[in-house]
Structures are given as C-alpha cells and as structure tokens.
Amino acid sequence: MKEHRVVVTGLGIISAIGNDVPTFWNNLKNGVCGIETITEFDTSMLPVHIAAKIKDFDPLQYGMDKAFVRKQALFTQYGVAAAYQAMQDAGLKSEGEDANIDPFRLGVYVGSGIGGFEIQYKETQKMIEDPSGQWISPLFIPSMISNIAAGHIAIKNNAKGPCINVVTACATSSHNLGEAYRAIRFGYADAIISGGCEYASIPLGIAGFANAKALSRSEDPKYASLPFNLNRGGFVMGDGGAMLVLETLEHAQERGAKIYGEIVGYGNTCDAYHSTAPRPDGTTQAQAMKLALQEAGYSKDDVLYINAHGTGTHLNDASETQAYKLALGEDAYKAHITSIKSMTGHMLGAAGAAEAIATVLSLKEGIVTPTINLDTPDPECDLNYTPNKAEKVACTLGISDSLGFGGHNACVAIRPWPCGVN
C-alpha cells in the first residue's frame, strides 16, 4: 500500500480569544486571556463563576441559516463555523463547476467530548416536569448526539468519504486528527476536515466538573487558569470549535494549495489506571509522545516545540512534566513548551485541535506563545514552559499532546513547511 505525506491546508477556529484564525493567533502571541465572569446565567448558587465563553458569535457568517441555527446545539454551530473557515481557507470544493476534490475522497473526522449538553439539560427539565414526555422535542436526539456535528459538517461540505466521531474526553480532537492523518496516509481519503467542538459551560457542566474537584474556584477570571504554576487549583471551562483540513501532499500540490505544515507522527496509548486521574509516573503518556516522535524522525538536532495539555490541575501538570522527561530524557530541558489553556481555558473536545492550530502557526512563524500567569513555577514542573511572554524560536518539530478522562492519551507531531525530513 502506497503511503502518502499529509499536509495541513486549512484552519478554522471559534474560541474565547477569537472567532477567526488571525484574531486567535494574534491574541495567543500577546498573552490575551479570554476567561471572564459568566453573565449569561445566574451562577450565585454555583461553586464556580468563571469560564472562557465565546463572544460575538454570529453563525450566519459561516454558511448557516436561521432555520439551521434554531434546530442545532451550540457545539454543532461552533463546529460547522470552524469547518466553514477551514474549507474556505483551504480552497477545497467538492461540488459545482469549480470542484477540485472527489466528494467520495473528502472525509470528516470531528468529535465532541460531550455533545449537545445544553439540549440534554433543557429536555431533561421538561421530562421531570411532565413524565409523559409529550413536550420533548422531536429534535432532542438528533441535536444532542455527539456525532451530529460531524454529520452536519459532511452535509454542508458534500463530504461523502469516511465520516467518524472519535470521543475520548479531553483528547477527542487530537485523536480525530491522528486517525485522520492515518486514513489519508494510507490512502483512504485525499482530504479530511478534522477537529472538535464543545459547549459545556452550562450550570450542569460547571457543577459536575466542580464537584469532581477539577475546576479552579478562583474569583479572578484573569488569574484562574494557571498551568504549571504552584498556585494552580484546577482548569477553567472553555467552549468553541477548531478544525484543520488535512490533505495528501500530492493533491495539495496538484491544485496549488498553500501548505501550513506537515503532519509527521501520531501516538495513541491508554493509562489503564483511573477514570479521571492520570497515571502519576507518566509512563503511558510518555509512550504516546515517543511513538509520535519516532514516527516524526525526531533527532537530537531538532529544536522541539511542545504544546502541552497543561490543564492547571495538580495531578495533570506534574505527571505531564514527568512524561516529557521520560520521553525526551535530558532533551526535555531544551524543549520550548507552552500551554494555551492559560488563555483559552480548557475547550475539552475541541482543545486538541485548537492546540494543533497553535502548533502549526508557531512552527510556521517561529514564535512560541506564552504560558501566561506563570509567576510562581511549581518546582515539580521545572521545564521551560515559556512564562508570560512569547519567544521567537525557529523550531524544527512540534508535538501537541492531549490527555483525557479514562486515561486516553494522544500526541500529534508536526513539522513546518517546507519539511526537510522525508
């Protein structure tokens, strides 16, 4: 079976720090925090009052009409909007006189960690009030299920190739990217829209994660998400959608597409340890990184960029640091590492794809974005986490790792374009 090189030709983002890629990237470079006090509903009785919410989102700007918007959960709208941007950016079309890809060779690998959470919440309230179920919406199921975002992205882009919704909690979109990379590499598609989308910062989501002792209870939204900081107290909920268009190098070059970077490796392991806590010795997380680095052809001469999972929970940041040391040895101290969750919050099922976009752009522009609020580094987290200010570094290889509840570990490796490793 012929193997294909896989490149990134399109990017799209809906996030708390920008609803388009240029705004998102500019805010990342400048350390802008998108976390704010929640105002859309009353949080007075909740233990947490902050989140990284989406601002000024107009779905009609992204190929959706009012009828579609009325029927769809926000996670789907965020996903469709990010996919619309990515496909426009890539210049891919599968129908019409200017079509440049066979629809049966265009796929969608998009996931959501939770799906239509607010729909579940609303319809459950109806059922409690009237157990007959007569007021439950006929759209309840098809707007709530987590695969529906992938389905609608396929419908809107006439993508008739493979369509998959991988769900692995916080590692969801990294696994979707990795599996999309493999599908293209081994010839099952010419291009795939891949990523994730999430809207979970609703009262039920906040209460659930807070009672699981996962969320920061800071009252200061700008000093709440504190990856690798000794003062960290949990992650901050974040919403949004993030999509990348992956494509074979041959197909991209034949149509003269711009290329952002090349996907060159993927690792996938499981902690097999605990439902929510990461394996504390970092061995299984490190193995996912080793697999991606090995496939990428990592050498001691590489200048390595790492976009960390970096949630700001006590357990994650310590075990993740240990994993980097196990995967890289002494080279871990030379790596340039950052956690964009300090600015975007934790986008759950969309986090990995948002971080992959940041990785692609960091490699392309030679800029390592900062981990903001890193004023008191944890002695256990003693690597270079790029505190507070962006750095200009010409990195030759990047990895983005994601670690999800259930012990799901994913790591995607990316090289800048043009890539010097064949």
Place of tokens 């983005």: 400
Q: Which residues are catalytic?
A: 170, 309, 346
Cα separation, 370 vs 387, in Å, equals 6
Q: Which residues contact 165 (CB under 8 A, 6 or more apart)?
A: 109, 110, 111, 112, 146, 147, 149, 150, 176
Instruction: Dig out the tokens for 259 from the structure.
Output: 């290329």
Cα separation, 346 vs 340, in Å, equals 9
Cα separation, 296 vs 240, in Å, equals 29
Residues 358, 414 contacting (CB under 8 angstroms): no
CA within 13 Å, CB half, 289: 29
CA-nearest of 106, 83, 178 to 404 is: 178
φ, ψ of residue 40 in degrees (nearest 5): -80, -15
Cα separation, 242 vs 357, in Å, equals 8
Q: Which residues contact 208 (CB under 8 A, 6 or more apart)?
A: none
Q: Which residues contact 236 (CB under 8 A, 6 or more apart)?
A: 35, 50, 51, 52, 215, 216, 221, 224, 225, 312, 341, 345, 346
Q: Is 60 exposed, middle or buried (0-12, 13-18, 19+ CB in 10 A)?
A: exposed
Return the bridge partners of 265, or none.
413
Place of tokens 């010409």: 394
